[in-house]
């Protein structure tokens, strides 16, 4: 069993960030729009560990992602330079996992900080895939074919 | 002589502080997720990135859950799913 983290004799609280990307079909490696308000700060906390933060992200594009729905959750190791060192699946949809790993390798992060010094740390990225919708939008009716 | 002693004391103080911080950084193993459950695409045409910040106590219990980036109609699903995940709190590395 791991020992609880301490700093100067005190057990420390911590923060982890979850990044959940809702990835519809046919996004073809488009960049994820990260403009708009961050509702944070949130990430910084009392023991001065700041988790890695997404700087840029792209949607996954793969033939399988246009046909299937499902989720892939990845535990991402980000090094002190903001590079991805490792991506391992902690929840998989087997036919979509490769597409998710391939896409996340293009993402860029700011590194995690401990007392303002960059350190290797972890974050989570989840891809939630959806095939093209085939349902009729509410309020519309099919056009009769004569 | 007194100036030399003061200088040496300052050097020791700076060195000691740096050593303490460096040791703490080496010892600090950040939190991570070890299990995530399924997440269904909600019935929406929305797309984009939801960012959640989960505050953990030293035992790994969730203290608070904040939304850092919102995708209306998808954030609620994300918050519900995140509650079922297993998270490992920060720990000390065995040196």
pLDDT digits (tens, 9 = 90+) for A49-78: 889 999 999 999 877 777 788 999 999 999
Contacts of A16 (CB under 8 A, 6+ apart): A51, A122, A123, A124, B30, B31, B32, B33, B53, B54, B56, B87
Whether residues B42 and B68 share a domain: the answer is yes
- Is residue B25 domain-resident? yes
For residues B23 and B56, membership in a common domain is answered with no
Q: Do B35 and B17 share a structural domain?
A: no
Put simply, whether A75 touches B (Cβ < 8 Å) is: yes
Residue-by-residue DSSP string for B36-80: ----PPPSSS--EEEEEEEEE-TTS-EEEEEEEE--TTTHHHHHH
Interface check A112 vs B, CB under 8 A = yes
Distance from CA of B10 to the nearest CA of A (A): 21
pLDDT confidence bin for A145, thresholds 50/70/90 = very low
Provide the residue range defining the domain that includes B8.
1-29
pLDDT of residue B13: 65
pLDDT at A106: 93
Nearest CA in chain A to B55: A15
| B95 within some domain | no
Question: Mean of the pLDDT values across residues B31-45?
Answer: 88
Domain count, chain B: 2
Per-residue pLDDT tens digits for A93-108: 999 999 999 999 999 9
For residue B1, the Cα-to-chain-centroid distance in whole angstroms is 47
Q: What is the pTM of this model?
A: 0.78
**A11, A20, A42 member nearest B78 (Cβ):** A20
Same structural domain for residues B20 and B54? Answer: no
| Confidence bin at A3 (pLDDT 50/70/90) | low
Residue A89's Cβ-side half-sphere holds a number of Cα atoms within 13 Å equal to 16
Contacts of A5 in chain B (CB under 8 A): 27-29, 58, 89-92
* Nearest-CB residue to A124 (from B28, B33, B46): B33
The residue whose two tokens read 């699903």 is B77
Give yes or no: residues B37 and B21 share one domain.
no
Domain range for A86 is 13-30+48-130
Q: Does ipTM top 0.95?
A: no
Number of domains in chain A: 1
């Amino acid at each position: 069993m791991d020992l609880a983290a301490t700093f100067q004799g005190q057990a420390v609280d911590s923060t982890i960030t979850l990044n959940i990307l809702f990835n519809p079909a046919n996004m073809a490696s488009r960049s994820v729009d990260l403009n708009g308000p961050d509702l944070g700060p949130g990430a910084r906390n009392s023991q001065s560990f700041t988790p890695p933060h997404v700087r840029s992200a792209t949607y996954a594009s793969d033939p399988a992602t246009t046909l299937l729905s499902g989720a892939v959750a990845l535990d991402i190791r980000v090094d002190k330079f903001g590079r991805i060192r490792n991506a391992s699946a902690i929840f998989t949809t087997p036919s979509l996992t490769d597409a998710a790993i391939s896409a996340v390798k293009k993402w860029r992060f700011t590194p995690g900080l401990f007392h303002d010094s960059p350190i290797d740390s972890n974050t989570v990225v989840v891809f939630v895939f959806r095939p093209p919708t085939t349902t009729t939008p509410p309020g519309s009716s099919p056009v009769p074919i004569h | 002589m007194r100036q030399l002693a003061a200088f040496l004391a300052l050097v020791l103080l700076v060195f000691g502080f740096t050593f303490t911080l460096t040791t703490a950084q080496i010892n600090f193993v950040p939190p991570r997720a070890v299990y995530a459950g399924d997440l269904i695409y909600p019935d929406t045409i929305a797309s984009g990135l939801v960012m959640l910040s989960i505050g953990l106590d030293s035992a790994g219990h969730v203290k608070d859950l904040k939304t850092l980036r919102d995708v209306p109609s998808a954030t609620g699903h994300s918050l519900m799913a995140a509650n079922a995940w297993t998270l490992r709190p920060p720990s000390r590395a065995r040196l």
